[in-house]
Amino acid sequence: MRINIFQSDIERMRDAAIRREASNSKTVVDYSTVSVCGATGPGDVAQDVLCNASYASCSETNDAIGAGPAMNVYRRFTDRAGTPVDGPRGDWELVGTTCLPSLLPGVGRQPTLAMIREAFRDTDFSVPTVNIQPEGDVTLVNLPTFFEVVLPEEGYGPDEVDQIQLLGYDIEVRPRLKSVTYHLGEETVGPTKDLGGPYPSGSIVHTYARAGEVPVQVDIVYTGEFRVGGSGWIDIPGEVDLDGDPVTLTVREAKSRLY
């Protein structure tokens, strides 16, 4: 797929349509955008379906190209009542492909990656806490202590699907685990995808050398994916960093007594 209608082209098309509308011409220009994901033309049931190709050729950082979604642009001429004129000019004609569909006259807005990213950031994410063994958030100096990430049922955790609506599109988003980082007081472990585990097989273990109260916290980084209609999962640019709920671990020093 090649993008061949850029911002300057869209502006010319829009200005020409406005001039024709404002003149005494009996004909006006009617535009329609159609998904690049296999739809055959205006009126196709898949006209608004989005997929990876809808965003792969677009650019959030280049305004001339546009953030997408990529759509094929069709044009026809109608009378002022909206009835297509007689002859070939009244038939839909494929003009090209653009990542700026919402700038065309008479075309509604479609969700850009920036909109979807912002909506994803508003997701009610599951915020991790940490389970510590020995139980009771109390351990001993020189005793191996095991840590395990716990993701509460509240909120959306890795691979759990949330449904949102954006500009009339039903969009599914899901967080993906990028990494966790363990802040254990005397040591930081990570970033890692290791969620730890309980005694005796857990892989995140620390042995404290000094007695005292230690703040323990696990922070998480989510990436995200979304899909619209019949599309596959599409990566959402960027990531979301969340601080986990802290736990106070008491480290005690065991004293031997002779009886």
At 106 the pLDDT is 86
Identify whether the C-beta of residue 197 lies closer than 8 Å to the C-beta of residue 203.
Answer: yes
Residue type, 117: R
| Burial of residue 178 (number of CB atoms within 10 Å: 0-12, 13-18, 19+) | middle
Bridge partners, residue 227, by sequence: 172
Query: Which residue stretches of 125-200 are H helix?
Result: none
At 256 the pLDDT is 58
Rounded Cα gap, residues 87 and 64, in angstroms: 34
Each residue's pLDDT, cut to its tens digit, for the chain (259 residues) gives 789 999 999 999 999 988 888 888 889 999 999 999 888 999 998 888 888 888 888 988 899 999 889 999 999 999 999 999 999 999 999 999 999 999 998 888 888 888 899 999 999 999 999 999 999 999 999 999 999 999 999 999 999 999 998 888 888 999 999 999 999 998 999 999 999 999 999 999 999 999 999 999 999 999 999 988 666 788 898 999 999 999 999 999 876 555 5
Q: Where are the domains of the chain?
A: 7-108, 116-252
At 61 the pLDDT is 87
At 161 the pLDDT is 95
Fold of domain 116-252: Immunoglobulin-like (2.60.40)
CB neighbourhood size of 196 (10 A): 22
Q: Is the pTM of this model over 0.75?
A: yes
Bridge partners, residue 83, by sequence: none
Identify whether the C-beta of residue 183 lies closer than 8 Å to the C-beta of residue 218.
Answer: yes
